Amino acid sequence: MKVLIVASALTLVGSCATPSHTDKLQNIKDSIVFTDANIINKYANTITSAELNTHVYKFSSDDFQGRKTGELGHHKASNYLKEYYIKEEVASPLGTDNYYQNVPESYFTDGIKSSSNVIAYIKGSEYPDEVLIISAHSDHEGYTEDAIYNGADDNGSGTAALLEMAQAFKKAELEGFGPKRSIVFLHLTGEEVDLTGSRYYTEHPVFPLHNTIANLNIDMIGRIDDSHEDNPNYIYVIGSDRLSTELHYISESANENFTKLELDYRLNSDSDPNQYYSRSDHYNFAQNGIPVIFYFSGTHDDYHEPTDTAEKINYPLLQKRTKLIFTTAWYIANNEKRIEVDQDS
């Protein structure tokens, strides 16, 4: 109904002028309505600081030896993810209890051994072939003789967010509010070695890429960087407007309705010297024309140091940021139409 009203409004002005860019943006903004906000809130609130804390502590513990791609510690970490999905009864798209997409040794250089992406999903009830991928890399830097690189922020924080969102979407499904589109929870290996797990996935997609409607990628969302010490209620949002204007405004609307964080876009600038848009796994999806958002809370003194540990994570903020991603994902998975790609950079 909303679409029809918009279309006729356009017709009225269309006889003497095409709708201005401003009108088009307003139409996109107006079309984004969270009609089931109470239901979304109910499940968003099952994402708790305490459970995120438990996952980050476990995932960044010495047991997993810094989770270096191809090594025992990373295999153990992958098994932790698999066991979690089995326990939560979130299925694998690869067949019963086989949550691993093996990335062969030939994909890696420098003697790195084979490793796996871990994939779980909830099948959509109305458009099961259309797929939203939420991703976070599971690997990190390993250990030396002197120290273990625990990687609590990088990327225990993103991993914990994925686990909590999967649980929340599963609970919603069991109570009659399953997603209309399929949602994939993708834990990528080899991010720290040239984004290899995501490159492998996009070259061997489990779901066809032309039906992969968006990728929300999370890499380090648990800390506060130097420029936000006085205003920590923020997250960097990168890439949201590069391929889909609609995705950008869905993200803004989700934030306005549910989380009210400062969405900081400074790292999304084409001219930003850090070029984060091309620096984590979402980039392999974007290069295939799939709209992406990269969620990030910035670097810090412990970045890629053995001191990136679990007690330094801000868990209430991690919870709030996870809720932003969850509510954005909810909209994308449940809206009447799949999001539109209208940009080409």
Residue 154 or 264: the one with the smaller Cβ distance to Zn ion is 154
Tell the smallest beta-carbon distance from residue 126 to Zn ion (Å): 34
Residue 75 or 137: the one with the smaller Cβ distance to Zn ion is 137
Residue 297 or 334: the one with the smaller Cβ distance to Zn ion is 297
Tell the smallest beta-carbon distance from residue 112 to Zn ion (Å): 16
Residue 148 or 213: the one with the smaller Cβ distance to Zn ion is 148
Tell the smallest beta-carbon distance from residue 180 to Zn ion (Å): 31
Cα maximum dimension of the chain: 74
Tell the smallest beta-carbon distance from residue 27 to Zn ion (Å): 37
Residue 193 or 339: the one with the smaller Cβ distance to Zn ion is 193
Site residues for Zn ion per CB under 5 A: 154-155, 219
Tell the smallest beta-carbon distance from residue 154 to Zn ion (Å): 4
Give yes or no for a contact between 211 and 341, defined as CB atoms under 8 angstroms apart: no
